[in-house]
Amino acid sequence: MDTKRLLSTYTLIGANLVPLFGVLFLSWSLVEILFLFWAETAVIGIVAFWKIVLAKKIDAREMEAYKKMPVMPAHPGRLTKRFLLFFFPFHFGMFMLGHAIFLTSFFLDNGQTISSVFGISLMYSLLTLFASHLVSFFVNYVGKKEYHDMTPQVVMIQPYKRVVMMHITVLFGGIVVSALGSPVVALVILVLMKIALDLFAHKKEHAVDPVSSTL
């Protein structure tokens, strides 16, 4: 693994250790952990939006369709990208809303709101997670020119794969932790599971295909 890849990996681990610190030393609850990871979903979506903006590769089937046109467009694939840049924020936002409704219904007590859960320490933790995703974006996607190997369609799907896998595991774990009475040990295991999933998704996401047609 090269130095740049190590930097983004260590940053990811470091950012995810902050919630672990919160559980062990700041008495963070299960609800705080779950909503922190929910808020991180927004960070993943923001980064994905800018990945779509930079993506250069054209889908092979789309390129074949362009080649069959009487006149080849001057900028093939641009219309698709523009559509995805409008569609993705709306669709991902609805995905986050559905997730928030689920969390609110099952984990918040009467009178609690999402804003009441987010204290200043949780906001700092979210900022470290945001920084981790930005480091990965600039080191891998921009610095290693991964955007040359990515179609807007593939980039749009990536965050769903990552978030769905992570949150199904975390939510299932959260239900188990809640049933156990939210002991610290169980919360620690939940955070460690999330770190492991993040590392797996990070490694898989940055194993890109060779360059072909570009926008």
Report the distance separating Cα 26 and Cα 19, nearest Å.
9
Confidence class for position 98, pLDDT limits 50, 70, 90 = very high
Domain boundaries, the chain: 3-205
The sign of the torsion formed by the CA atoms of 193, 199, 202, 203 equals negative
In this prediction, residues 113-137 reach a mean pLDDT of 94
pLDDT of the residue at 212:
44
Identify the CA nearest to 52 among candidates 207, 156, 199: 156
Report the distance separating Cα 211 and Cα 121, nearest Å.
42
Report the distance separating Cα 9 and Cα 203, nearest Å.
9
DSSP for residue 140: I
Residue with tokens 């219904």: 105
pLDDT of the residue at 70:
58
Q: Is the pLDDT of residue 121 over 70?
A: yes
Identify the CA nearest to 13 among candidates 164, 145, 163, 199: 199
Confidence class for position 73, pLDDT limits 50, 70, 90 = low
Residue that wins the pLDDT comparison between 47 and 153: 47
Task: Identify whether the C-beta of residue 31 lies closer than 8 Å to the C-beta of residue 117.
Answer: yes
User: Hey, what are 145's tokens?
Assistant: 């020119």
Question: Which conformational region is residue 186 in: left (phi greater than 0), alpha (psi within -120 to 50 degrees), or beta?
Answer: alpha
pLDDT of the residue at 3:
74
In this prediction, residues 70-91 reach a mean pLDDT of 78
Confidence class for position 63, pLDDT limits 50, 70, 90 = low
pLDDT of the residue at 75:
56
The chain-wide mean pLDDT, for the chain, equals: 86
**Distance, CA of 108 to chain centre:** 23
Report the distance separating Cα 179 and Cα 159, nearest Å.
29
Identify the CA nearest to 87 among candidates 167, 161, 153: 153
In this prediction, residues 39-61 reach a mean pLDDT of 91
Per-residue model confidence as pLDDT tens digits over 160-213: 988 888 888 888 888 888 888 878 998 999 999 999 999 998 888 877 544 444
pLDDT of the residue at 210:
40
Identify the CA nearest to 191 among candidates 40, 37, 39, 53: 37
Identify the CA nearest to 193 among candidates 20, 11, 9: 20
Identify the CA nearest to 87 among candidates 54, 30, 48: 48
Per-residue model confidence as pLDDT tens digits over 102-114: 999 989 887 788 8
DSSP for residue 68: T
pLDDT of the residue at 204:
85
Residues 6+ apart with CB under 8 A from 171: 34, 102
Per-residue model confidence as pLDDT tens digits over 12-37: 999 999 999 999 999 999 999 999 99
pLDDT of the residue at 213:
44
Confidence class for position 74, pLDDT limits 50, 70, 90 = very low
Stretch among 2-6, 54-58, 90-94 having the lowest mean pLDDT: 2-6
Residue with tokens 């709306």: 90
Q: Is the pLDDT of residue 119 over 50?
A: yes
User: Hey, what are 34's tokens?
Assistant: 């779950």
